[in-house]
Amino acid sequence: MSATTRNQVFTAVHTVGGLLPADMLVRISEGRDVPGSKPADYGLPSSRSVRDEAERSWEYLKPLWRDLRKRLPEDTETGVPAGDPTGRAQADWLAPLWQELGFGRLTPVGPAGITADSDAEKKFPVSHRWGHALVHQTAWNAELDKRPAGAGTVPPQSMLQECLNRTEAHLWGVLTNGRQVRLLRDSSALATASYVEFDLESIFDGELFSEFVLLYRLLHASRLESRDGGTQWTCWLEVWRDAALRLGARFLDDIGEGVRLAIKELGTGFLRHPANTALRENFDRHTYHTALLRLVYRLLFVFVAEDRDALHPPSATPEARDRYTKYFSTARLREQSRRRRGTSHADRWEALRLVLTALGDEAGARSSAYPDSAASSTPRRPTSRCAASSSRTSTSWPPYGTSRSSATPRPSAGGPSTTAPSTPRSSAPSMSRCSPSSPSTARPTAPSGWRSARATNARRPGRTTPRARWSTCCSTPRSTR
């Protein structure tokens, strides 16, 4: 299962700040490769699986949710319940939810609140506690990240997080308004939030049972209990968090080897491609290795951003997301690379270059999409996407990927080429396609022997620049196919 697929499974579960990464949530939901997942660990008889018990709770809670939504007044604009003036959500919804999760009746903290360890004057108005854990319930219509009463007040998220940070006796906490529920932990990172959130509205309105199973497994009271007479540091949530940290440490240890193999495969593929004669003739080991290393880390960035659904803006339409997934996503490329060996066709490589260009490349920000003008006197970079400089004085362009800047024509094999000035096809700035290089003021001139794509078009009437772009200098490493 790819990382993208795993993330798409949980549409109503969000992890923020790395408290528990998405991969660990997947393992917890499946009860796979994580300790503490057996029925006995949840206080269940061996004849009942955790999923079966979660299904029983699911069937019990669904009609309670539907009844609550019918009885609460609705917002005229959004059509969702706007408030809970009678307190029905606390008694008819949250209390049964805690019962099903094994908490029983929560202990009210009272008006005194929770006192900070280092400052007896500092009080935190937390509503309930359960053992060492804190459970704070807010009003139904309260926003967890907004000030409840304007300036001078503290958002519920910030209040509970600060309380956990400033009290040694409380390590984990749960925050809810009845519509969302968040799991928090004591954290030294005061500048950023860190929690796992379950959108109860989406789960029950959309009947997302698989995500309720994760909620049941993660927020069950047994996850917060001290094991074997130990402290709160021995609870299963702490064990899972430590396992996630060790998993991340192993990933960092392994990534170096993965980068080495990627450089080897990509570098070999570029060098062997029949269209990259100029790369082999003008080969420079240092420049080539630097460009490959930069490309590999750019790809890693795209992989992570795509798997976390961070590439698309919130305003992106479903059609745009679907089009990207079908034709441009790296998840599709990675999945295909596992099933079959690559070929010398360039379509997938071109699609990847388009994605990297759209994400931004400083080297090509000064250029237009397709240069047609010879007005500039600045020497152009080679056309080939796999060109390597024979000099180490400048590494601003890679052995593949070129900036399509508006500049003077480049010399071809038969001598200088001439092109008639014309209007560029696009005035929008374009980036160097898949260029893993950093910007540099010194840009090398084209080596002798380069064929100008424009000169090729001049000799072939009717040929356009895009056609020349596809036919003269496309290359695809074997590993990206």
The pLDDT tens digits of the residues spanning 130-183 come to 999 999 999 988 899 999 877 778 999 999 999 999 999 999 999 999 999 999
Inter-axis angle of helices 330-339 and 318-327, nearest 10:
30
- List the pLDDT tens digit at each of the 481 positions of the chain: 433 334 445 889 998 887 898 888 999 999 988 899 999 999 999 899 999 999 999 999 999 999 998 888 766 565 555 677 777 899 999 999 999 999 999 999 999 999 999 899 999 999 999 999 999 999 988 899 999 877 778 999 999 999 999 999 999 999 999 999 999 999 876 556 889 999 999 999 999 999 999 999 999 999 999 887 778 899 999 999 988 888 765 555 567 777 888 888 888 888 888 888 888 888 998 999 999 988 888 888 888 888 777 788 888 888 888 888 888 888 878 877 777 666 767 788 888 888 888 887 543 333 333 333 333 333 333 333 333 333 333 333 344 433 333 333 333 333 333 333 333 333 333 333 333 333 333 433 443 443 433 344 444 444 433 333 333 333 344 444 3
Q: How many CA atoms, within 13 angstroms, populate the side-chain half-sphere of residue 298? A: 21
Closest Cα partner for 51 from 39, 65, 33, 60?
A: 39
User: How do beta strands 114-115 and 123-124 pair?
Assistant: antiparallel
Mention every residue, 6+ apart, whose C-beta is less than 8 A from residue 78.
Answer: none
The dihedral region occupied by 434, where left means phi > 0, alpha psi between -120 and 50, and beta the remainder, is left
Question: What's the pTM value of the predicted model, to 2 decimals?
Answer: 0.57
Strands 411-412 and 367-368: what pairing? unpaired
Q: Are strands 172-176 and 133-137 parallel, antiparallel or unpaired?
A: parallel
CA distance 131 to 16: 25
Name the token pair of 212: 């309720």
Please answer whether residues 7 and 22 qualify as being in contact, where contact means their C-beta atoms are separated by less than 8 angstroms: yes
